[in-house]
Amino acid sequence: MDLDKYTRMPPHDCLRCGHRLDAVSTIEDKFSAPSPGDVTVCINCGLPMIFDDKFKLRRPTQAELDELEFNADYHDTVRAIADLRRQD
């Protein structure tokens, strides 16, 4: 994950820890703007959240959480965030 490559987004507070989120980054080596239904992970506490069709964040449903368990990109992202936090 390269935090120099990010897309600005309207500020939102994490739904669990309240951390102000105003940018997203991908684990891929490219700029990418999120789309409705995309998953983002709070860089402070690791909470997965979903962009709704108005670009607001909501908590995932249980079915979405179950799906994330099998999503390798999600697990790579959570691992990358944990690595970043260890470097702080």
Residues near Zn ion (CB under 5 A) are 14, 16-17, 19, 42, 44-45, 47
Closest distance to Zn ion from the beta carbon of 16 (Å): 5
Whether residue 53 contacts residue 34, with contact meaning beta carbons closer than 8 Å, is answered with no
Closer CB to Zn ion, 42 or 81, in the complex: 42
Min CB(60)–Zn ion separation in Å: 14
Q: Least distance from C-beta 73 to Zn ion, angstroms?
A: 19
